[in-house]
Amino acid sequence: MAREKKRRSHGRRSPLAAAALIGIGLVLSGGIYAGASAAVAATSEPTAADTALTAEDGQKLFQANCATCHGLDLQGTDDGPSLYGVGALAVEFQVSTGRMPLQMQGPQAEQKPVQFTEEQILAMADYVQSVAPGPDLPSDHILDGEGDLARGAELFRINCAMCHNVAAAGGALTQGKWAPDIQDTSALHIYAAMVTGPQNMPVFNNMNLTPEDKRDIISALLYQQEEQAPGGFNIGSLGPVAEGFFVWIFGIGGLVAITVWITAKSN
C-alpha cells in the first residue's frame, strides 16, 4: 500500500500548474491581440496604393451608381453638380461616410450605411481623379497625430468651434442644416472636410490653413477623442452653462427633496 501511495504522489500535478498555464495563455493571447490591433491600426487609413481595383473598375462603378446625377462625363445634371475639379479626396469622403449616393434631396446629405467596399471607393476616387483632377489623398505625415496639440486646439477654437462646438460635439445651423459631431471622425476625414468643404462647411485652402495648421488641428482632435473626461460623466460635452444648469436642477433639486423627506419623517 505504501508503494501504491508513493506512485500516485508522483503522478499528481501541482495545483499551481493549471493557474500558471491559464496565465501563460492569457499573456500570449493578449500579446497576439495587441500586435494584431496595432497592425490593423497602422493600415486603417486608405491610400491609393491599397486598392487592387483600377480606375477602369471605378469608371464602371461610377457609371452604374453616380452618373444618373453627375453625368457620364462628370459634367453634372439638373439633379447633381459637376465633379470637375473635385478630385479623389472628396469622392473618398462623400462615399465612405455614406453621404453618397444621395438618398434624397434635402437641406443636407444625411449619412447612411456605406454601400461600397473600401477598394471600390478608392477605385471610383481614382477614376474621378484621372478625369477631373482635384485634391488627392494626403501623406501619412499630415495624419500622424504628432502635430502641436496646443496650437491645433487654438486653431480649432478660432476656425471650427462656432459650428462644431468647442468639444467637437456638433451643433445646429440655419434652415435645417447642422454641423456634424466629429468626436469619432478619422484623421483622413477631418483633413478631407477641411480641404473639400462638404455641405455647408467652408473650404480651408493652404492660404487659410497651411498643411501644418491642418496637421495640428487633426492632432488636437485625435488627442481629444482619446482623452477621457476628467469628471467621468461629461453630459454630452454640452458646455459649462448647460452642464451647470443640469447640476443645479438635478443636484440642488435632489438635496432639497432629501431634506423635505427627512423633515417629513422626523415629524
**What was the pLDDT predicted at 246?**
81
**What was the pLDDT predicted at 33?**
54
CATH for 55-131 is 1.10.760.10
**What's the chain's average pLDDT?**
83
Query: Which fold, 140-226?
Result: Cytochrome Bc1 Complex; Chain D, domain 2 (1.10.760)
160 is in an annotated binding site: yes
- Residue given cell 469622392 in the structure block: 91
Strand partners, 172: 178
- pLDDT tier, 15 (very low <50, low <70, confident <90, very high otherwise): low
Instruction: In whole angstroms, give the CA distance from residue 183 to residue 198.
Output: 17
Does the pLDDT of residue 16 top 60, yes or no? yes
Give the residue-averaged pLDDT of 158-173. 88
10 is in an annotated binding site: no
**What was the pLDDT predicted at 38?**
47
Q: Write down the domain spans for the chain.
A: 55-131, 140-226
Give the residue-averaged pLDDT of 184-198. 94
> Identical fold at 55-131 and 140-226?
yes
Q: Among 119, 38, 128, which Cα is nearest to 87's?
A: 128
**pLDDT, tens digit (0-9, with 9 covering 90-100), for 61-78:** 999 999 999 999 999 999
189 is in an annotated binding site: no
Give the residue-averaged pLDDT of 9-38. 61
SS3 80: strand
